[in-house]
Chain A
Amino acid sequence: MAVMSYRQALHDTLRAEMLRDPDVFLMGEEIGRFEGSYKITAGLLDEFGPKRVRDTPIAEEGFTGAAVGAAMLGLRPVVEIMTINFSLLALDQIVNHAAKIYGMFGGQRSVPMVIRTPGGGGQQLAATHSQNVELFYAFTPGLKVVAPSSPADAKALLIASIRDNDPVLFLENLALYNTKGEVPDGDEPAEIGRAAVTREGTDITLVAYSRMAHVALQVAEKLAADEGISAEVVDLRSLRPLDRPTIIESVKKTSCAVVLEDDWLTYGIGAEVAASISDGAFDYLDAPVRRVAMAEVPLPYAKPLELAALPSANDVVTVVHQTLDAVGRRSVGAH
């Protein structure tokens, strides 16, 4: 067990997997000589050389598709797309090709590749550079989408993603790179498709992933400390497959839920979670499932506007209060 940053966990895991398996190699813009826009790949070009740390031209469709083709021949490319916004230029290769090749050709060749890419607003990068479009990929059967929120999960899910035989979109987050946490030694992979209950509670379930799973934990601690409210936190970790049973089990216990998401509300991940709760725990629900999500605007640059548009811990507290008040349960915990 060592304490390290999310960034360090990613870096060390990439390195360890490259040492373990010569078929694992990295591709992306500015990952070698420049050491990565967010320095995840720092030092790896020097250690592994340009064959295994391949700087690409600014051609997301071209190099992402090349990774798909290399994976079809059995290599295990790990592609870095500088931010998830730019993955839209590779949408055709990800959605129309990587996701389809195993099924559309009757299971003859799989596509064992990983696309690492950070999402995240809040850095004053304005509308085109602050989106969370993981939904597009989570919507697509044939892809797997994971979204670790802690350094430990970053490591365990990256190992799992690299060793998996399907295309995995590995969602990082700009705001998480410097966060720290305990990371186990060894190389135990996580199981893709399993959520984690990162905090147990009895009054309300908070469902979240990536950065918002952090916010959920902070809010839960604050609610416990200030008001004696016991919130359970379900960190999805995997957006496709979605671990519905873990969500349902939690809601059966708490009878109400709030979903936190960094993307837009309408048609978003939270909508799917809420619908799943309605399907699997309707009889247990004491209140409607509420969602805390980004304001539905292209994210503005000016700080006060950006802050207003992004979901915050305070927003979550407000919605938790509203939810518990609606069923007269806030007093339960408030003593």
Chain B
Amino acid sequence: MATTSRKRPARSAKNAEELLGYYRQMLLVRRFEERTAQAYTEAKIGGYCHLNLGEEATVVGLMAAIEERDYLFTNYRDHGYALIRGMDPGRVMAELYGRQDGVSKGWGGSMHLFDTDVRQLGGYGIVGGQLPLAAGAALAVSYRDGDEVVMCQMGDGTTNIGAFHETLNIATLWDLPIVFVVVNNRLGMGTTVEMSSAEPELYKRASSYRMESARVDGNDVIAVRDAAKVAVERAREEQRPYLLETVSGRLRGHSVVDPAAYRSKEEVDEVRAQDPVAGLHDRLVADGAATAEGLAEIDADVHRIVKAAVEFAEKSPAPEVSSLFDYTYASPVPNDSRRLPADPLFPVGA
């Protein structure tokens, strides 16, 4: 259970290119989330809306460690994962807008992004709900002797719920090819890890389940990727579950509407000082891997992608009310009640 140390910046041209690629992805998450917050305040987006601001290095590092064939389950803080996993940004934004072209056809919203094509099998709004599901997906992989790995993301607060403990136990017992990732942003909503977890070094909890685990700096994209690769390899090659804890910060409130008044200025300053996007920017420039102008061009490019995503969402029609009963059951059966609120159960007077 080693704590992976921060690596020295890559110097080779190949590594510089790789880092630039990650920077572009992190910036995509950053700009998409900023634009999402704006759209939310314009009342274009409804419901609860949780952003990955401050978690960009974690998101990108994790997604770099899994392959196309692998499966991903996340909690409701899922926009960044969807973008980097390969969902179309326009369709992700359309989902936030509740439109027909949304990845979940407007049925899920911000918390429930799902795209079977990229094997991201949900965004889940119930804390801990995705854990048993992810274990079941890993069970299906192993049932079929497959070589896919399931990655199951969750927050720090999730390690206190029963489903976490039931699932970790099952994962070890059944030799499941699954990587649990605890994205420790040090907060539940406003509750700190220390307030809620008797063992605040969360990765240690895995030891109760004889599961290998590690903690890594979640603000360092390369460190996250490399640590996650170790975990994925363990799951794929040895059919053994693994728990990885990433430690980073949350730049804004729990959700868009949360002003986070419970945080001190010092606390916020500390998180800002570790901003992973700004950090990578400065590192790339300091290492001579990029110029500030070059990075600004990437930013402009990313802005265009986000702008196009918003335009796509704006244009996408709302789902037809006539489709309201299309997704209750996959196998249609007789006598399924399909009435709208004012409809009678039976024709009046019949």
Contact = CB atoms under 8 A, between A and B. Distances in A.
Given A62-B167, A65-B167, A166-B329, A105 B335 contact: no
Given A66-B170, A70-B143, A93-B129, A61 B163 contact: yes
Interface residues of A, number: 59
A191 interface: yes
B163 A65 contact: yes
Nearest to B73: A69
A194 B335 CA distance: 8
B78 interface: no
Interface stretch (B12-20, B107-115, B293-301): B107-115
Given A61-B166, A191-B334, A242-B335, A106 B328 contact: no
Contacts of A51: 143
Contacts of A101: 122
Interface string B136-161: 11111101000000000000000000
Contacts of B331: 110, 164-166
Interface string A235-265: 0001001111100100000000000000000
Contact of A144 (B71, B143, B333, B344): B333
Contacts of B173: 57
B114 A279 contact: no
A37 interface: no
A166 B328 CA distance: 9
A243 B328 CA distance: 17
Contacts of B169: 57, 59, 62
In which size bucket is the chain B interface? 35 or more
A64 interface: yes
Interface in A211-255: 238, 241-245, 248
Interface in B18-33: none
Contacts of B344: 279
Interface stretch (A11-19, A72-80, A122-130, A310-318): A72-80
A194 B336 CA distance: 10
Contact of B327 (A73, A97, A103, A238): A103
A97 B133 contact: yes
B62 to A, nearest CB: 19
B204 interface: no
A102 interface: yes
A71 interface: yes
Contact of B133 (A65, A107, A110, A141): A65
B126 A96 contact: yes
Interface string A21-47: 000010000000000000000000000
Contacts of B326: 107
A64 B167 CA distance: 11
Interface in A259-283: 276, 279-280, 283
B108 A105 contact: yes
A280 B345 contact: yes
A71 B112 contact: no
A280 B129 CA distance: 40
B116 interface: yes
Contact of A62 (B116, B140, B141, B166): B166
B122 A105 contact: yes
B131 interface: yes
Interface string B329-350: 1110111110000001110011
Contacts of B134: 69
Contacts of B114: 104-106, 108-109
A219 B259 CA distance: 65
Contacts of A296: none
Contacts of B102: 106
Interface in B251-291: none
A298 interface: no
Nearest to B168: A62
Contacts of A276: 345
Interface in A88-124: 92-93, 96-97, 101-112
A69 B106 CA distance: 22
Interface string A156-199: 00000000111000000000000000000000000111100000
A294 interface: no
B47 interface: no
B131 A65 contact: yes
Contacts of B74: none
A159 B136 CA distance: 23
A204 interface: no
A63 interface: yes
A97 B143 contact: no
Nearest to A194: B334
B49 interface: no
A110 B330 CA distance: 6
B252 to A, nearest CB: 26
Given A66-B139, A72-B137, A141-B328, A106 B105 contact: yes
A93 B335 contact: no
* Most A-side CB within 10 Å, residue of B115, B122, B140: B140
Contacts of B346: 244, 248, 279-280
Given A62-B166, A72-B133, A166-B330, A241 B140 contact: no
A69 B108 contact: no
B132 interface: yes
A244 B173 CA distance: 46
A72 B166 contact: no
Contacts of A93: 129, 132-133
14 contacts: A56-B170, A63-B132, A65-B129, A65-B163, A66-B136, A69-B137, A106-B107, A107-B105, A107-B326, A107-B327, A241-B333, A241-B336, A242-B337, A280-B350
Shortest 4 CB-CB distances between A and B: which pairs? A65-B132, A69-B136, A62-B166, A106-B105
Given A97-B132, A102-B330, 12 more contacts: A56-B170, A61-B162, A65-B163, A69-B138, A69-B139, A106-B114, A111-B330, A164-B333, A166-B330, A241-B334, A243-B335, A279-B344
